[in-house]
Chain A
Amino acid sequence: MKDTMDILTKSSMRMLVAAGFLLLTAITGNAGDIKIIANGSVKQDSISQEELRAVYLLQRRTLRDGSRAVPVLQKGGPTHDVFVREYLGRDAEEIRIYYQGLVFTGKGSMPKEFRSEGEVVAYVLGTPGAVAYVSSETASEGLKVLTVQGARKTGERGLITRVEPQYPETLKQMGIGGSVRLQLSISPKGEVDRVLVLGGNPILAEAAVEAAKRWVYAAWPSQTTAEVTIPFRPNP
C-alpha cells in the first residue's frame, strides 16, 4: 500500500512539474510574440532588422521610404524586455543607459515611453511616423503592422510543415518545368499570411502559392518574411 502511495505521489509530482513547465513555457512563449506597429503615414510595409535597430538607437530619423520615424518605448514589461533583447541586442537596463547618455550630453531626446500597450497604440495612432512594438495579441486596428525582414533571423526560423505543390498535369505531360520564387509573410505563430510571387511560370506559381499557404513555421517573436524557391521538374 505504502509502495502504491509512493508511486502515486511520485507520479503526481512528475505531472505537477510537467504541468508547471508547460505553463512556464506558455507564458514565455506569449511574452515573446511581438509585432511591430506603425502609424498609417508610414508608407513601407516591412522594415529590416538593421533599420529598426537604427531607428530605436536614434541613428536614423527617417525610414528607407523617406517617411519620418518616431520610436516609441514601453516602460518595462516582458514585451519590452524581449524587444530590446531580440532587436536591439541589449538588455532593458543597457538601453535605458544608452538613451540617458544621449539626453544628458545634448545629443538626443528620450523617446516617448508608455506604461501600457493601450497607451502605446493610442499614441502611435495619433502620431505620424510613430513606430512601436506590442504583444501580438494587442489589437492594432487602424495601424500598419510592419513585417521585419532579416534573412539571418528568418533563416533560423525553422519550417515545421512543408506541403509539396500539385504539379499541373498538363504542364507535366508537356515537359514544362522551372522554378517559382515566392516571398512569404509569416505570422508570429508560424502561419503563412501572405504570399507574393516574385518570379516563375504563372501556372506553376499558382500551384506553388496554394502549397506555401499551408506551410507552418516555428513560432517567432514577430512577423517575418522569407524568400523561397520551389522547383518543378517534369522528369525527376
Chain B
Amino acid sequence: MRWRVLGLALVCLGLAERSQAQEFKVWNRAVQVHGFASQGFVYTDHNNWLSMNTNDGSGAMTDMGLNMSSQLTDRLRVGAQIYDRNVGRFGQWHPSLDWAVADYHFSNWLGIRGGKVKTTLGLYNDSQDLDFLHVFAFLPQSIYPTDLRDTTIAHTGGDVYGNVALGRRFGAVSYTAFAGIHHDSIYSGYPYLATQWSAYFRDIEGPQYGADLRWETPWKNLLLGVSRMNQEITAKGFFQNNAVAPQPVPYQTTTKAYWSNQYYGRLHGRRLEVDGEYRRYVILFPMFAGSNVSMDARGWYISGTYRVGKHFEAGSYYSRYTITTVSGGLAQFYLPSQTDTSLPQNHVYDKVVAGRWDLNRFVYLKIEGHFMDGYGLGPYPDGFYPQQNPAGFKSKTNALVLKTGFHF
C-alpha cells in the first residue's frame, strides 16, 4: 500500500512540469480539459478513522477527476466532470458523474444551470473534493464529513443564480436557489454504517431544494452568508441476518423532510484568511414501523490560514461536532437514546494544524496533524465505525495525514 502511495506521489512529481490545461477545438468551439488527482496517507494512534486501517498506516485514500467544458455561445456553457475515489470503504473505485451542466446566462443578476449540479451550501460544499484548492487535507469534518459527502454534494435538477451589485456603500449579493433529486452513492458512510445492523442499501435518493445567499460586505474582504437546504432521503435495500432472517428481507426507510441550516463568514486579508461556519440538521426517520429515531447534529468550526511565502501556507482549525439521538419503540434496541453531548460517543472535537507546500503551479504536498476528542457514534456516521474498531473505541485519537496531488 505504501509503495502505491509513493508511486503515485512520484507520478505526480513527474507530471509536474508537463501539466497544462488542455484546450482543443470541436466544430470551431474551444473545449477546455482540466483534471486532478490526489493521494493521501493516514496514521492514527488509537481508533481507526474514516473506514481505513489507519492504526497500521493507510494509503487507501485516492481520488481523481477529469472535466471538459465549452463556452458554446456568449451565454451558453456546457461541461461535465467524472469523479472517482477510494477512501477506505468509500467510493471503492466506482466512478461517478460528478456534475454535468448546461449553464445559460441571461444577465448579471440572472442565470440558470441544469443537469447534475454541484449543490451550493456554505463556503465549501461544492468544492470539498477539490483538495488542491484547500490548505487542509481534511476540511473540518463537523461541516464537511468525508464519509457523507455524497449526501450533499450534488443534485439532478437546476439552479437559478445571480449577482446583484448594491453599490460601493453596500457591497454585492450573490444568490443561488436550487431544486432537484440527490442520489447518494451506496459506497459512502451511511450504507457502510448500516451494515452493522444487517441492513444493506442498494439505492439512496430523495428530493431536495434550498437556497444560498452570500453578501460581499462593503467592509474590505468580509463575506457573510446563509444556506438552507431541505432534503428527504429514501434508502432502499434489504435486511439479512443469519440469526434472525437468513433470507434477504426487503427494507426501506424514508426520513421526514428536514432542513439543514448553515451560516458562515469569511474574512480575507493579504495573507490571512479566517473562515467560520455553523450547520445544524435534525433528522427523523422510522427505523421500523412505529419505531422512530430522531437525531440532532450540530457542527461548527473556525479556521485560519496564513500564506507564509509564495510556496508555503500554514493553517489551523478547531472543529466541533455533537450528535444526540432519541429512539422510540424497537429502535431503542439498535440505537439507544443518547443525549449527553459531553460523552465521547456523542461528539468529535478536532484540533488541527496543517502545512501546504506548493512545489509549482500544479503539484503540492500537505502535512496535517489531528488531535481528536470523541468518536461520535450514532445513527449517522462521523468518521468512526464499529466495524473498523471491533475492540471498542478509545476516547481520543491523534492522526497524522500526508497528502500529495496535482491538477491541470
Contact = CB atoms under 8 A, between A and B. Distances in A.
A106 B130 contact: no
Interface residues of B, number: 44
Interface stretch (A2-10, A53-61, A133-141): A53-61
A106 B79 contact: yes
A96 to B, nearest CB: 7
Contact of B220 (A89, A96, A100, A108): A89
A207 interface: no
Interface stretch (B10-18, B64-72, B340-348): B64-72
A89 B107 CA distance: 25
Contact of B310 (A68, A93, A110, A129): A93
Contact of B74 (A51, A61, A90, A93): A61
Interface string B88-126: 000000000001110101011000010001100000001
Interface string A95-134: 0110011011111111000000000000000000100000
A96 B310 CA distance: 13
Interface string B244-286: 0000000000000000000000001011000000000000000
B53 interface: no
A183 interface: no
B133 A106 contact: no
Given A104-B127, A110-B21, A59 B132 contact: no
Contacts of B69: 103, 106, 109
A89 B269 CA distance: 9
B67 A103 contact: yes
A105 B126 contact: yes
Contact of A109 (B77, B172, B407): B77
B46 interface: no
Contacts of B36: 104
A91 B127 contact: no
Interface residues of A, number: 27
A104 B165 contact: no
A96 B270 contact: no
Interface in A61-92: 61-62, 68, 89-91
A93 B268 CA distance: 14
A50 interface: yes
A106 B174 contact: no
Nearest to A62: B108
Interface of B: 21, 32, 34, 36, 65, 67, 69, 71, 74-75, 77, 79-81, 99-101, 103, 105, 107-108, 113, 117-118, 126-127, 130, 132-133, 163, 165, 168, 172, 174, 220-221, 268, 270-271, 307, 310, 358, 361, 407
Given A100-B133, A110-B34, 6 more contacts: A91-B270, A100-B34, A104-B81, A104-B407, A106-B81, A107-B113
5 contacts: A89-B268, A93-B358, A100-B132, A106-B100, A110-B21
